[in-house]
Chains A and B, each alone.
Chain A
Amino acid sequence: MAELGHDATSHAPPREMPEMELPHSHSWWTTYVFSQDAKTIAIQYSVTAISVGVFAMFLSIMIRLQLGFPNTFSLIDPSSYLQYVTMHGMIMVVYLLTALFLGGFGNYFIPLMIGARDMAFPYLNMLSFWFYFLSVIVLMASFFVPGGPTGAGWTLYPPQLISEGTPGIHGGVILMMISLGIFIIGFTMGGLNYIVTILQYRTRGMTLMRMPLTIWGIFLATMLALLAFPALLVAALMVLLDHLAGTSFFMPTMFSMGEQLPHEGGSPLLFQHLFWFFGHPEVYIVALPAFGVVSDILATHARRNIFGYRMMVWALVAIGGLSFVVWAHHMFVSGMNPYFGFLFATTTLIIAVPTAIKVYNWVLTLWHGNIRLDLPMLFAIGFIFTFINGGMTGLFLGNVTVDVPLADTYFVVGHFHMVMALAPVMTIYAAIYHWYPKITGRMLNEAMGKIHFWVTFIGAYAIFLPMHYLGLAGVPRRYYAFGETSPFIGESVVSLNAFITVAAVLVAAAQLLFIYNLIRSRKHGKEAGPNPWNATTLEWQTEHTPPTHGNFGKELPVVYRWPYDYSVPGAKYDFIPQNVPPEEVEMVDEGAVRR
């Protein structure tokens, strides 16, 4: 057995894990509602996020109905169209993806995967969820205030955001900003928990370099979020002051009907800098956990160790760091100093290097693997496809000269939906199909799952691939209708829009099938057993399935190896769990090499 020759790790007996004082619930309320158990909180986060995500999906259907079949549905007018676009974007990015990856997956997987009984601060963890829940309620309340929710686009750019003529400039904007503020406060509570738990409560033997990549992804994404969300908070507070107190942080001098409006001298560009300082790391706040989850699922279902684990970790760190110096590539046409464009195009293209390392390593993990096309694997492979496609079009948009004509066209919509919507959603499905058996003790229905996968995968391509063509044809995004410009919009654009809408409706229907599968399998799914995928990580080694309060039995597990011991030469089985000591590994024969 090779020795570890490194100062940071030592073979001295480790400081024992302090036993956590677990808060025990004494009533139905503290067990299921105000629970301090990370697993329950994870499920609360997930159910809330998925519910609000389904709602945002219906908003996207409304958008598509208007675009595919203009002026056919009286429910959609220009104002409501803009409101649907705005709320769809904001809900999906913040209230679904961020909340589900960090609040949902983070809460469930961190303690279980690192061998802890719970989060470091269970009470704070509970508060974190309820702040998130409150932020969702406040956001949804904006549909019921006079004027409805804001329709300024999810980027919330002033001066349009709070200028007359934009839908929802009264209650809608205020509730959006308050909701974001509450979300950020709640997230800070949760984020502190995730990082401290990972740093302090790893079980004996679980060194940083033995953590599953899922945990690395969540760990680094949380750090990004804790540093990036304050930018959104500052921007939200200043918008509120501009709107309610009459300051001019962002609002420039404007005239309306020959009269000067009360604001003067504010800088909309300042808002854009603040927004994208949050907005671009936000892409990686979602992507890094997705990278981690996909890595673990690929290794498990290809029965191979992840290719280049160390490089995968460093690539995650590099991507996280670089994500803070690329924000202005969203602002190439904003009128900022052109030299900035050159700088940010360069940093943007550099980020392709660690990203490409990850993609190559995923493909090399599959190479010569014993690939099992289980449902999680299908979605994980689907992720690789969509992420590569989205990444490639990102290279187009990262170059200033190519971006300028493509800015604010459907090319951008196609690009970011591939990389930011479809790719993470594929990962979410992969994760749910993979871990649902541990969370509920039952398997999801495979036939329904396969229908779900193929309709989603092919359907999503049918939606987003043609959008690149629309963008190249010059079709602008966010337009309700093309009015008198219609003669310039080709027939192919009209028919493609109708085609995309039909595909979108079919894909939405497939998601409802998935929800049905989730609910039905909870009671009627096949019994899963403790470790149906023969996986190595600690969550599959718990005494009970689903894991009970405290996660593990009397003793916390001890970790002897990394999480990727699949198909180890000479070993009797094609996986060795992390908590199996070297002397207990069953070998095929005595002569085999022991690891």
Chain B
Amino acid sequence: MTITLVFLAVLLAFFLGWILSRTVNVEPWVADGGTLNDRLPEILTTPRVALAIFLAAVSSLFALSISAYHMRMAFGIDWLAVPSPALLWVNTVILVLGSLALQWSWNAARRNDAAGTRRWLYAGGALTGAFILGQTLVWRDLNAGGYYMTANPANAFFYFLTALHVLHLLGGLVAWVRTVKRERAGAPPEAICSAVELCTIYWHYLLVIWFILFALLLTT
């Protein structure tokens, strides 16, 4: 559980710092004219805060899964590492491109460029679809090569971790579809800018998670 504890320690250190900065030296029993203010900075809008909290919960899920991976590897003598198919590298490039496409869509939305927003938004979704398809091909190839889920705990974890990642991408695609619907209904870029931004941050986050998972699978 070391990985989970390190993750939690970082999170808690950040939270403690914030809480202490808001609570030390404050004299709560003192009344005032109703002007006290300790709101979050304006840059932290409600959707951004919500996404940050959600990502903290998702990080906990992945940190725990990776901890379980390490613990199972250490507990069992039956661990046989899964080969990493070359297709995983291709999929990684596709996911990077998907993330970049959404970044460009967000940039375009901020410039109020409707065509650019639309083009890169669609490209981001399509590339994500391609990544998911690529992952299913990896699963099919591994299965065909005899690396069944039940054959070895390393195989089981490979399918488990990659599927968990894909499930989160599918969840992201639900938000992406809602954004596309609004765009197709004629919403101008500034109206969907916040939604595109949230999608982009989420995609970047899942890209980082994928890098971590991929590195884990490559090195163990």
Contact = CB atoms under 8 A, between A and B. Distances in A.
A and B held together in a complex: yes
B53 A226 contact: yes
B186 interface: no
Contacts of A359: none
A245 B1 CA distance: 25
B99 to A, nearest CB: 23
Contact of A309 (B11, B22, B29, B68): B29
Given A14-B36, A196-B49, A560-B33, A209 B61 contact: no
A200 interface: yes
Contacts of B30: 1-4, 561, 595
Interface stretch (B39-47, B88-96, B101-109, B176-184): B39-47
Nearest to A271: B68
Contacts of A324: 5, 8, 12
A563 to B, nearest CB: 9
Nearest to A193: B50
B25 A238 contact: no
A313 B16 CA distance: 12
A234 B64 contact: yes
Given A120-B50, A317-B16, A227 B23 contact: no
A204 B54 CA distance: 26
A267 B72 contact: yes
A2 B4 CA distance: 44
Contacts of A26: none
B19 interface: yes
Contacts of B76: 265-267
A17 to B, nearest CB: 9
Contacts of B156: 241, 247-249
B153 A120 contact: no
A210 interface: yes
A265 B154 CA distance: 12
A156 B39 CA distance: 43
A321 interface: yes
A277 B50 CA distance: 24
B192 to A, nearest CB: 18
B36 A188 contact: no
A234 B34 contact: no
A523 B39 CA distance: 42
B21 interface: yes
A2 B19 CA distance: 22
B94 to A, nearest CB: 26
A274 interface: yes
B11 A247 contact: no
Interface string A262-273: 101111011001
A438 interface: no
B37 A12 contact: yes
A8 B156 CA distance: 49
Interface in B30-75: 30-40, 42, 46, 49-50, 53-54, 56-58, 60-61, 64-65, 68, 71-72, 75
Given A9-B37, A14-B35, A264 B61 contact: no
A304 to B, nearest CB: 12
Interface string B13-29: 00110010111111111
A349 interface: no
A457 interface: no
B149 interface: yes
Interface in A298-355: 305, 309-310, 313-314, 317, 321, 324-325
B53 A582 contact: no
A559 B34 contact: yes
A4 B32 CA distance: 9
Contacts of A78: none
Contacts of B72: 249, 266-267, 270
B61 A230 contact: yes
Interface residues of A, number: 77
Interface string A162-198: 0000000000000000000000000010011001100
A207 interface: yes
B156 to A, nearest CB: 4
Nearest to A557: B34
B150 interface: yes
A4 B42 CA distance: 22
Given A208-B23, A227-B8, A249 B153 contact: yes
A12 B35 CA distance: 7
A6 interface: yes
B77 interface: yes
A564 interface: yes
Contact of B37 (A207, A231, A249, A273): A207
Contacts of A13: 35, 37
Contacts of A269: 75
A200 B35 contact: no
A249 B150 CA distance: 10
Given A249-B153, A274-B68, A227 B57 contact: yes
A99 interface: no
B141 interface: no
A205 interface: yes
A13 B35 CA distance: 6
A11 interface: yes
B104 to A, nearest CB: 28
A249 B68 contact: yes
Contacts of A8: 21-22, 26, 38
Given A238-B160, A274-B68, A321-B16, A204 B23 contact: no
A373 B52 CA distance: 44
A509 interface: no
Contacts of A234: 61, 64-65, 68
A2 B27 contact: yes
Which residue of A8, A210, A233, A273 has the most chain B CB atoms within 10 A of its CB atom? Answer: A8
B34 A192 contact: no
Contact of B53 (A10, A192, A267, A321): A192
A222 to B, nearest CB: 9
A237 interface: yes
Contacts of A200: 39-40, 46, 49
A177 B119 CA distance: 42
B26 A6 contact: yes
Nearest to B26: A209
A121 B49 CA distance: 12
B143 to A, nearest CB: 12
A247 B33 contact: no
Given A200-B46, A267-B76, A325-B5, A11 B32 contact: yes
A146 interface: no
A-B interface, 5 closest residue pairs, ranked by CB to CB distance from nearest: A14-B37, A230-B61, A265-B78, A561-B31, A267-B75
Interface of A: 1-15, 120-121, 188, 191-192, 195-196, 199-200, 202, 204-205, 207-210, 223, 226-231, 233-234, 237-238, 241, 245-249, 262, 264-267, 269-270, 273-274, 277, 305, 309-310, 313-314, 317, 321, 324-325, 558-562, 564-565, 581-582, 595
22 contacts: A5-B25, A6-B25, A6-B26, A9-B37, A120-B50, A196-B53, A205-B32, A207-B26, A208-B19, A230-B58, A230-B64, A231-B60, A237-B164, A247-B149, A248-B78, A270-B71, A274-B64, A310-B26, A310-B28, A317-B16, A564-B29, A581-B34
Given A192-B53, A248-B153, A560-B32, 10 more contacts: A1-B32, A9-B38, A192-B54, A196-B50, A200-B49, A209-B23, A209-B28, A227-B57, A270-B75, A562-B29
